[in-house]
Structure 1
Amino acid sequence: MNAVIASTRAELLRLRKWPSMWVLLAAWIVLNLVFVYVFNFITFKTGGTTDMASSAPPDVLLVQMLPSAVPQVFTQGMAMFGGALMLILGALTIGSGYGWGTWKTVFTQGPSRSAALAGTLLALLTVVIGLVLTVAAVDVGVATVIATVESEPANLPAASAMLKALASGMLILAMWTVAGVLVGALARGPALSVGLGLVWVLVVENLLRGVAAILDPVSVVTDFLPGTAAGSLAGSLRDFGGDTTPGVLNILDGGTSVLLLAAYVAAFAAGTIWLVRRRDVN
Structure 2
Amino acid sequence: MHNIRAELAKQVHRPASWLLLAIAVVQTITFAYIIPYAGSGGPVSRGLDAMLPSGFVSSSIAGLPLFIGALALIFGVLVAGSEYGWETWKTVLAQRPSRLSVYGAKLVTVAVGTFVMVLALMAFSAATSAVIAGIEGRPMAWPGVLDILQGFGAGWLVSTMWGALGVLLAILLRGVALPIGLGLVWMLAIQNLLSAIAAPMLDFIAQLQKGLPGPNAGSLVAAITGPNQAPGVDALVSGGPAALVVTAYLIAFAGIGGWLLRRRDII
TM-score bin, normalised by smaller chain? over 0.9
For 1:253, the equivalent position in structure 2 comes to 238
Aligned partners of 2:28 and 2:63 also within 8 Å: yes
Aligned partners of 1:67 and 1:156 also within 8 Å: yes
After superposition, what is the alpha-carbon deviation per residue over 1:235-269, rounded to whole angstroms, capped at 9, x for unaligned?
111248xx542111110111011111111111101
Q: 2:25 corresponds to which letter in structure 1?
A: I
- Which of 258, 262, 266 is residue 277 of structure 1 equivalent to? 262
Matches within 5 A, 1:117-132: 117-132=103-118
For 1:30, the equivalent position in structure 2 comes to 26
| Separation of aligned partners in 2, 1:107 and 1:278 | 14
Give the share of equivalent positions with the same residue, in percent.
38
Q: 2:88 corresponds to which letter in structure 1?
A: T
Aligned partners of 1:98 and 1:104 also within 8 Å: no
For 2:219, the equivalent position in structure 1 comes to 232
Q: 1:103 corresponds to which letter in structure 2?
A: W
Tell me if 1:10 matches 2:30: no
3-state DSSP class of the match of 2:66?
Answer: helix
Aligned partners of 2:61 and 2:118 also within 8 Å: no
Q: Report the aligned-residue RMSD.
A: 1.4
Aligned partners of 2:77 and 2:170 also within 8 Å: yes
| Separation of aligned partners in 2, 1:107 and 1:211 | 46
| Separation of aligned partners in 2, 1:119 and 1:244 | 34
For 2:136, the equivalent position in structure 1 comes to 150
Q: 1:20 corresponds to which letter in structure 2?
A: A
Matches within 5 A, 1:1-282: 5-43=1-39, 48-49=40-41, 51=42, 54-56=44-46, 61-209=47-195, 210-239=197-226, 244-282=229-267
| Separation of aligned partners in 2, 1:205 and 1:54 | 18
Aligned partners of 1:87 and 1:179 also within 8 Å: yes
Aligned partners of 1:71 and 1:165 also within 8 Å: yes
3-state DSSP class of the match of 2:61?
Answer: coil
Q: 1:267 corresponds to which letter in structure 2?
A: A
| Separation of aligned partners in 1, 2:203 and 2:233 | 20
Report the more deviating stretch, 61-70 or 230-239: 230-239
Q: 2:87 corresponds to which letter in structure 1?
A: G
Number of aligned residue pairs: 266
Q: 2:5 corresponds to which letter in structure 1?
A: R
3-state DSSP class of the match of 2:230?
Answer: coil
Q: Which runs of 4+ in 1 moved over 3 A?
A: 53-56
TM-score, normalised by the number of residues in structure 1 = 0.91
| Separation of aligned partners in 2, 1:70 and 1:244 | 12
CA drift of 1:208 comes to: 2.3
TM-score, normalised by the number of residues in structure 2 = 0.95
3-state DSSP class of the match of 2:211?
Answer: coil
After superposition, what is the alpha-carbon deviation per residue over 1:107-134, rounded to whole angstroms, capped at 9, x for unaligned?
3333000000000100110111111112
After superposition, what is the alpha-carbon deviation per residue over 1:160-197, rounded to whole angstroms, capped at 9, x for unaligned?
11111000110110010001110111111111110010
Q: 1:162 corresponds to which letter in structure 2?
A: I
Go from structure 1 to structure 2 and tell me whether the alpha carbon gap of 1:62 and 1:226 turns closer, same or farther (over 3 Å shift). Answer: same
Return 5+ residue gaps in structure 2 as ranges: none
| Separation of aligned partners in 1, 2:94 and 2:126 | 47
